[in-house]
A and B are shown apart, each in its own frame.
Chain A
């Protein structure tokens, strides 16, 4: 069974802080994703990566960056957190013919 693990379930950060959200998958998937989940807006793609050190912007990359130094790990970075980045963040991975597999999510509150 595919396991996508997000390191934190809840995070509270202050405006201006640098925030790291970590995600690890154990199925050797090439592709990994970061989404924001907001009520009424569904899932919006922030960034994705199709290989180590490769990344592409999604639909809402502003204010975010990512890092993929190892195949199993995909990190989302908020360089300077703002209150409008308060949200649920979902990590996902996929490979071959498998469907998207999601982590449990990290609920980030920026005060």
Chain B
């Protein structure tokens, strides 16, 4: 079965420190992977998708097919990065059934 694993429920880092939120997926084909973010009292929103290969708010994520990973990274964390982050894989059955990980709460400490 397709699965997305986020091993950390909570990640606390100090402001200015590097951040890496881990995401592993199980899928044998070519995955479509996303990172979604939910700031306090806001709706869940797309942060970035792997096919764009872009940097959003200083975050990047590289697809590593060998390790089946899609870790989210930022070199210098900011307090405003504190949020809930979900890794997601777009289902490939012809529908849009996204599979979400259990989420990682990032706390950036002053």
Given contacts A42-B86, A43-B86, A90-B44, contact A100 B96 (CB under 8 A): yes
Determine how close the nearest CB of chain A comes to the CB of B51; give it in whole angstroms: 10
A-side contacts of B43, CB under 8 Å: 4, 102-105
Q: How far is the CA of A42 from the CA of B96 in the complex (A)?
A: 18
A31 with B96: CB separation less than 8 A: yes
Most B CB within 10 A of own CB, among A35, A43, A94, A103: A43
Most A CB within 10 A of own CB, among B42, B43, B95: B43
Whether, in the assembled complex, B57 has its beta carbon less than 8 Å from a beta carbon of chain A, the answer is no
A50 with B95: CB separation less than 8 A: yes
Determine how close the nearest CB of chain A comes to the CB of B8; give it in whole angstroms: 12
Whether, in the assembled complex, B9 has its beta carbon less than 8 Å from a beta carbon of chain A, the answer is yes
Q: Shortest 10 CB-CB distances between A and B: which pairs? A: A42-B102, A43-B100, A102-B44, A99-B46, A42-B100, A31-B96, A94-B96, A104-B43, A102-B43, A42-B103
Contacts A42-B100, A105-B43 given; 9 further ones with Cβ under 8 A?
A: A4-B43, A45-B97, A48-B97, A50-B95, A56-B95, A58-B97, A99-B34, A99-B46, A102-B45
Listed by A's residue number, 19 A-B pairs whose Cβ atoms lie within 8 Å are A31-B95, A35-B100, A40-B102, A42-B6, A42-B100, A45-B97, A45-B98, A48-B95, A48-B97, A50-B95, A56-B95, A92-B44, A94-B96, A99-B34, A99-B46, A100-B34, A100-B36, A104-B43, A105-B43
